[in-house]
Structure 1
């Protein structure tokens, strides 16, 4: 049964990759085509059931060796946020950056990069799989998201972790402010051992194209779930009030919320 499920997953991903090549799906484009949406829905159902029932909630994504690291790691999604506050932080080396943690928590907090780096860290060499069909292997270091959540004291009603980011993927309509990127994951994913807020990439601080100063790595899901330029973490019981109510920027544009690999 496992081999059969994996074969079907490969077929679906192959179709998505082909459509991505036509500009109908991918980390840098929309997914408004009805066929793409149906394929995404099938993939979401299949991978969620496979990972939950067969792999288990705590199974690890494969980790690689230093020799496996890709010579070039293609940046996904936004690459140069134009938000003025972000640009000011970047110009000063993110010295004044503060990660906000709030929502359904007992102890809201703000953390500097130095404070985040002082927390227990995890380093992992993993493969990044993009819905467009490409993959790269990189080395990521950061603080486990579960550590941040435990320090904040999550309230019982909480169900999701939302990441509010500095990039604004869409151009603003006349007279309107551009909407900032946001994404979300559930607590099973948030507390996974390999889910980290990465501040280093391949042994050096993150650079802007890869999400500086802080990006999410949730290794058992596709790349579009790995929010970059994270400015605020909000713990919520529902994401219906955010964006168009689907749980993230890409989800508001037709992608599925769960994107397991």
Structure 2
């Protein structure tokens, strides 16, 4: 039994499960009590995993025989913005990944630039907060290599991923989808920016042209349609200030599994 599952059962219990927070991405949390419990649970999860699973342990990897015949897309299946539509028309030839914020050398990297960098391929299980799992094969650039290329400024603590996905505009108009991880997970060897899935170019439904894979966390942390990475020392002033779209609506920031 995973540390995360044990923690959820012990701290959250049936009363939190009854809120529906962890059963679907459209359930928003209104209860202060529930939020307090989740925040305490999140701290325990991250602390326990970092203490008991130190030295950058790997998430389990599988063989090609284990690949799921169907890998359900999570979240948005296609961004609706004109900007994204134009990029898609040219097969993302004009797309560039922007890396800025608390860095010494801001970057703009094309897909060709990323594919020219050392890559990693891994077959891992994607666990969605909605209750389903699937195994896929991902190829991409280790995020740590990009951060090394940019050079972190003193005080940088988090990598924030801004996406072409405009899901939240249909809910409350707060801006484009975003997620974040800390630098411990950013430098984990299995944290990659994937441009291929199951040996093929990443499909739109799965986050083309680039998505984050942070294999030790739940699926909503795996940001799709990544356009920009900002290095920062805090989440203050970034929409709800919790470090992610779903986190701003009550989900845990650290979604370790």
TM-score (norm 1): 0.89
Q: Say which SS state the counterpart of residue 82 (structure 1) adopts.
A: coil
Paired position in structure 2 for 1:144:
142
Distance, in Å, in 2 between the alignment partners of 1:247 and 1:234 is 12
Structure 1 position 6, deviation (Å): 6.3
- Change beyond 3 A, Cα 1:33–1:177: closer
Q: Say which SS state the counterpart of residue 249 (structure 1) adopts.
A: coil
Distance, in Å, in 2 between the alignment partners of 1:23 and 1:88 is 37
Distance, in Å, in 1 between the alignment partners of 2:2 and 2:213 is 28
Which 4+ residue blocks in structure 1 deviate beyond 4 angstroms? Answer: 3-7, 12-19
Question: Bigger shift: 28-37 or 46-55?
Answer: 28-37
Contact preservation (8 Å) 1:166, 1:180: yes
- Change beyond 3 A, Cα 1:16–1:66: farther
Distance, in Å, in 2 between the alignment partners of 1:222 and 1:161 is 17
Structure 1 position 202, deviation (Å): 0.5
Paired position in structure 2 for 1:11:
9
Paired position in structure 1 for 2:168:
170
Contact preservation (8 Å) 1:27, 1:76: no
Contact preservation (8 Å) 2:42, 2:254: yes
Paired position in structure 2 for 1:186:
182
Structure 1 position 44, deviation (Å): 1.6
The answer to whether 1:206 aligns with 2:202 is yes
Unaligned runs of 5+ in 1: none
Contact preservation (8 Å) 2:102, 2:153: yes
Unaligned runs of 5+ in 2: none
- Among 234, 241, 245, the alignment partner of 2:241 is 245
Deviation string, structure 1 residues 116-158 (Cα, Å, up to 9, x no partner): 0010000000011111221111000000000000000101110
Structure 1 position 225, deviation (Å): 0.7
Deviation string, structure 1 residues 38-80 (Cα, Å, up to 9, x no partner): 5633542332122111111501100001011111111111111
| Structure 1 segment 20-99 matched on structure 2, within 5 A | 24-26=21-23, 28-34=25-31, 37=35, 40-99=38-97
Paired position in structure 1 for 2:151:
153
Distance, in Å, in 2 between the alignment partners of 1:4 and 1:229 is 30
Contact preservation (8 Å) 1:212, 1:229: yes
TM-score (norm 2): 0.90
- Change beyond 3 A, Cα 1:43–1:116: same
Q: Say which SS state the counterpart of residue 40 (structure 1) adopts.
A: helix
* Aligned residue-pair number: 255
Deviation string, structure 1 residues 170-196 (Cα, Å, up to 9, x no partner): 2458xx966100111100000000000
Contact preservation (8 Å) 2:95, 2:111: yes
- Change beyond 3 A, Cα 1:197–1:14: farther
Structure 1 position 219, deviation (Å): 0.5
Aligned-residue CA RMSD (Å): 2.5
